[in-house]
């Protein structure tokens, strides 16, 4: 196998395994997300970390990404991968004033 072919295969394998995806961290503290708006690329994920002394339940009913991470307490975290472009409105089922807009780009 030629070196060029081997490099091409290695690059293709890396691309398909999400080697270029980024994990963004959003904390939850004082009944608020650490940011109100976040831009990311398809394949990226958000890790939600609960720094409050009570539970949170992160969810979205958006067409671009619908999910419910369930309830988790202080020190807990949950992650979600965003697999298609669009605007995702993220909320907390326990604290309705907690809102985050995620813009997922190609």
DSSP letters, 10-28, are: HHHHHHHTTTT--EEEEEE
21-105 belongs to CATH 2.40.440.10: no
Residues 55 and 53: their CA atoms lie apart, in Å, by 7
pLDDT tens digits, 15-30: 554 568 999 999 999 9
Contact status, residue 88 vs residue 105, Cβ threshold 8 Å:
no
Domain ranges of the chain: 21-105
Residues 59 and 97: their CA atoms lie apart, in Å, by 13
pLDDT tens digits, 34-50: 999 999 999 999 999 99
Torsion (CA) 75, 80, 100, 71 in degrees, nearest 10? -50
Among 21, 20, 18, 26, which Cα is nearest to 102's? 26
Q: What's the whole-model pTM score?
A: 0.81
């Amino acid at each position: 196998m030629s070196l060029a072919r081997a490099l091409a295969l290695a690059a293709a394998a890396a691309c398909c395994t999400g080697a270029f995806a980024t994990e963004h961290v959003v904390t939850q503290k004082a009944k608020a997300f650490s940011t109100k708006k976040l831009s990311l690329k398809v394949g990226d994920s958000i890790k939600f970390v609960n720094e409050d002394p009570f539970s949170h339940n992160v969810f979205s009913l958006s067409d671009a990404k619908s999910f419910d991470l369930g309830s988790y307490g202080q020190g807990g975290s949950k992650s979600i991968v965003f697999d298609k472009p669009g605007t995702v409105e993220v909320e907390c089922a326990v604290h309705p004033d907690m809102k985050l807009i995620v813009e997922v780009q190609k």
